[in-house]
Structure 1
Amino acid sequence: MILFKVSVHTAIGTSLFVDVIASLTVSYSYYKNGNIELKSGIWIASTSIIGAQLGALFASKMGEGNLSSSFGVVLVIAGLSMFRKSYKEKSDSSDTISGFIHFKTERQKILAALIIGLGIGILSGIFGAGGGVLILLALIILMSFPLHKAIGTSTLIMAITALSSTVGYAARGKIDFELGSFLAVGAVLGAILGSSYANKVNEKTLLKIVGICFMAMGVVIL
């Protein structure tokens, strides 16, 4: 959106609109390959919708300079976290948070998913990333998901969360639908190509690549 010189709020709203279309395309591809955890995804998505509306409301009251800087910081931190994760030994447990909090019951896992979803929704509504970065990090770092399943599940949640946020921005007239439609065409083509080749990339290498990209984007925005 930097290239098209639109306002920060319109850029966020338009990016959310594009996220919905691209995320649905990617999530379908991962679903066909069995790389979506529907159970956890649905619980996270249920509260992320509420959080997304709150985030969109907060963002409308924030100055554009503060919004841009904050999003840049989030991207840098996300990139560092993923890069650091690539050097850690792979965890075999799917019932932990950051490897040290163990869920004893299914109810605890559901509660954690609901809380994570609410936080992700608020932040995605504020920063307009559709929750993609935040959801992926939460599933990998907090929920100990394998990378491919994390990507598949996060794109499904992202589609649902982004749709909720998009409605909020559209109601405030902060979406350029013409620009978003053109961008969506390219995003869908890229999503199809990316998801086709993702399984061929080593997990640790992919984490490093994504981490570097996030850090670079964050620095540019800052």
Structure 2
Amino acid sequence: MSFLFFTAVGLLAATLGSLVGLGGGIIIVPALIYLGPYFIGKEVSVATAVGTSLAVLIFTAFSSTWSFHKQRKVDFRSGWLYFLTCGPGAMLGSFLTQFVDATTFQLAFGIFMLIMALLLIFKGYLKPVNVRWAIQRTYTDDHGAVHTYGYGALPALAIGLVVGIISGLFGVGGGSLFVPAMMLLFRYPPHVATATSMFVIFLSSIMGTVTHVALGEVDVWMVLGLAPSALVGGWIGARIASSLSSGKLLWVLRITFFLVAVRMIWEGLG
């Protein structure tokens, strides 16, 4: 039963996470906390769920990044810039997890998921800001269309820091913030934003996991159970993202995020 549970959770989280650049932790953490007692026979603490999720994200993000790299969609130059602050931010967020009690975490995570659900609902109606940033880049898609986007070093570093802290604190990839910010502030093409986000998630997850391991907050056996299907899911999500519209799947994510957010906020307030 536990094998099937880990396989299903790892595959679902990685596929959906890779498809929209989320990373999948936003599914793994609630699954371990709420379903762990039923399927693996023990309760999973908040800190362990977060640390284990972040460790699994290494495999998800690596698989997804490799697939996107072969499709030439990853902007490594800007990705390394985001990582300068995202990596240390992930370590700081991971360190702060030990000071957050279960009730506070559930409330904070629920609010975070609710914000993510609202972002996914309204991002189609939001228009990119019309700013010509100092650093300009171009991307030619599979249809030959040329997309121009740009970014500023300081805003990029600030976004990286915020995303890194949230990533380490909640055990999520942070792509749910990265992707909208890259598209709305810097006008990244959607596929480039998703692919570059997964690259940064891969690097920052490693640094955040190191901190969680040092604090004894990573369950190695759960990581080994989740990692194989996460590798497969990361590859599947990247392939789907390159060929299919994710509109219907986004609605599944919106509804899922909203329901889980309400549940966690209810538990936190209770």
TM-score when scaled to structure 2? 0.72
> Are residues 1:58 and 2:75 paired?
no
Of 215, 239, 245, which aligns to 1:196? 239
> Are residues 1:151 and 2:194 paired?
yes
Partner of 2:135: 106
C-alpha separation between the residues in 2 aligned to 1:104 and 1:21?
33
Paired residues of 2:81 and 2:156 also in contact (CA < 8 A): yes
CA apart distance, 1:104: 4.2
Instruction: Specify the structure having the higher radius of gyration (Cα).
Output: 2
Partner of 2:268: none
Letter in structure 2 aligned against 1:67:
F
* Aligned-pair Cα RMSD in Å: 2.1
C-alpha separation between the residues in 1 aligned to 2:45 and 2:124?
35
C-alpha separation between the residues in 2 aligned to 1:212 and 1:156?
27
**Residue deviations 1:119-150, cap 9 Å, x none?**
11111111110323222232233333222211
C-alpha separation between the residues in 2 aligned to 1:48 and 1:117?
4
Aligned length: 213
Unaligned runs of 5+ residues in structure 2 are 1-31, 37-42, 137-150, 266-270
Letter in structure 1 aligned against 2:254:
G
Paired residues of 2:63 and 2:232 also in contact (CA < 8 A): no
Letter in structure 1 aligned against 2:169:
I
1:199 is paired with a residue whose SS is: helix
CA apart distance, 1:53: 1.6
- Name whichever of 32-41 and 197-206 sits farther off: 197-206
- Name whichever of 124-133 and 199-208 sits farther off: 199-208
Letter in structure 1 aligned against 2:123:
K
C-alpha separation between the residues in 1 aligned to 2:133 and 2:189?
21
Evaluate the alpha carbon distance shift between residue 15 and residue 99 of structure 1 in structure 2; reply closer, same or farther with a 3 A threshold.
Answer: same
Unaligned runs of 5+ residues in structure 1 are 92-97
Partner of 2:68: 30
- List aligned pairs for 1:2-41, cutoff 5 A: 2-4=34-36, 5-41=43-79
Paired residues of 1:78 and 1:137 also in contact (CA < 8 A): no
C-alpha separation between the residues in 2 aligned to 1:15 and 1:26?
16
TM-score when scaled to structure 1? 0.87
Partner of 2:158: 115
Of 85, 98, 107, which aligns to 1:69? 107
